[in-house]
Amino acid sequence: MKPDLMVELAGLKLSNPILTASGTFGFGLEYEPYVNLRELGAVVIKSVTLNPRQGNPPPRVTETPAGMLNSVGLQNPGLAAVSEYYVPELKRRKVKVFASVAGETIEEYGRVAYSLAEAGVDAIEVNVSCPNVAAGGLAFGSDPDTTAAVTARVRAAVGNLPVFIKLGVMGGDVVEIAGAAAAAGASGFSLINTLPGLAIDVRARRPVLGNITGGLSGPAIKPVALWAVWRVYKELRLPIIGMGGITCVQDVIEFLLCGATAVAVGTGNFINPGLTVELINGLERALAAEGISGVSELVGAAHVER
């Protein structure tokens, strides 16, 4: 008998635990030459803002040892284009769609989330790494109170739709911030966002990226991501989408064992555009080889009582 890859995230049933990380897979349609989108557990689309954004000046991406830095700056066509074109196109293909939402104010988060929910997305991921313009530019996710306020606004806007808060590990304690989000109505979490980083061009004697700093992703951050997933799962036992350096089936299993119910592939998509489907097939083979009946057997299994 084949292993059961189905997972349930806050009541939402997915055919398998392999998702795409927001910002690394466009709006899904761009990857159709390489991936049958219907095979994925879900497509998490690029973060959407109320108005179109041009993003940061180039260069925007550079390779680093065991990873990459990006400073794209949330470039996207804006809420209207995404809700009127991209979401309907994905739903027409019978793809589960998670919409990543971003904003400069709490009210913007609510407006964007409401419109995307109305457009028919299956879940909302809240990118709280954005600067809060009403609070001097600090990221919403760096403080429990602001994270809770954004979470509550999005929850009110989307009713019972699953809401996942995407957190990093910079600023406040990730468990405290996740707890505040949970109390405000979060269904679960996406862990982790990129880490801040810098690359220098020694010949030019200046930073490589046009925006100077960027977000570090890829295998270099996997141990940090596993640590965050482990801690949040241990304390809150809510659904977690784990991400950070997933490039092979072993990586997927490590995140599941630490407490993730699903995983999102990010930088790996740039290395191998067909990686997500390869991981689905590889995970099925790995479970079968070990005599494991389903993914649910692995979730949190590394947590043992001392």
pLDDT tens figures, 284-304: 999 999 999 999 999 999 997
Q: End-to-end CA distance of the chain, in Å? A: 35
Q: Which of 19, 106, 121, 130 is catalytic?
A: 130
Return the percentage of the chain with pLDDT > 70, whole number: 96
State how far the Cα of 237 lies from the Cα of 20, in Å rounded to an integer: 22
State how far the Cα of 58 lies from the Cα of 72, in Å rounded to an integer: 8
Alpha-carbon separation of residue 260 from 76, 78, 149, 176, 225 (angstroms): 28, 31, 25, 18, 11
State how far the Cα of 215 lies from the Cα of 6, in Å rounded to an integer: 31
In a domain, 71, yes or no: yes
Residue-level pLDDT at 131: 57
In a domain, 57, yes or no: yes
C-alpha torsion angle, residues 184, 151, 174, 28 (rounded to 10): 140
State how far the Cα of 282 lies from the Cα of 277, in Å rounded to an integer: 8
Tell me the two tokens of residue 122.
């299956």
CATH code of 33's domain = 3.20.20.70
Number of neighbours of residue 195 by Cβ within 10 angstroms: 19
How many domains in the chain? 1
In a domain, 239, yes or no: yes
What is the span of the domain harbouring residue 284? Answer: 7-297
In a domain, 303, yes or no: no
In a domain, 193, yes or no: yes
Mean pLDDT computed over 141-166? 96
In a domain, 123, yes or no: yes
Mean pLDDT computed over 266-276? 97
Q: Is 130 a catalytic residue?
A: yes
Mean pLDDT computed over 131-159? 84
Residue 271 has pLDDT above 60, yes or no: yes
Tell me the two tokens of residue 17.
């635990």
Residue 162 has pLDDT above 90, yes or no: yes
**Band of pLDDT at residue 171, cut at 50, 70 and 90:** confident
In a domain, 304, yes or no: no
List, for residues 73-126, the tens digit of each pLDDT value.
999 999 999 999 999 999 999 999 999 999 999 999 999 999 999 999 999 999
In a domain, 302, yes or no: no
Residue-level pLDDT at 305: 64
State how far the Cα of 184 lies from the Cα of 178, in Å rounded to an integer: 10
State how far the Cα of 44 lies from the Cα of 19, in Å rounded to an integer: 7
Residue-level pLDDT at 289: 97
Radius of gyration of the chain (CA): 18
Mean pLDDT computed over 209-225? 96
Residue 137 has pLDDT above 90, yes or no: no
Alpha-carbon separation of residue 204 from 5, 63, 199 (angstroms): 50, 17, 12
Tell me the two tokens of residue 150.
């954004």
C-alpha torsion angle, residues 217, 7, 112, 135 (rounded to 10): -50
Return the percentage of the chain with pLDDT > 90, whole number: 93
Contact status, residue 248 vs residue 190, Cβ threshold 8 Å: no
**Band of pLDDT at residue 263, cut at 50, 70 and 90:** very high
Contact status, residue 241 vs residue 190, Cβ threshold 8 Å: yes
List, for residues 31-45, the tens digit of each pLDDT value.
999 999 999 999 999
Contact status, residue 238 vs residue 266, Cβ threshold 8 Å: no
Residue-level pLDDT at 264: 98
Alpha-carbon separation of residue 302 from 84, 220, 240 (angstroms): 43, 22, 15
Residue 134 has pLDDT above 70, yes or no: no
**pTM exceeds 0.85:** yes
Mean pLDDT computed over 250-272? 98
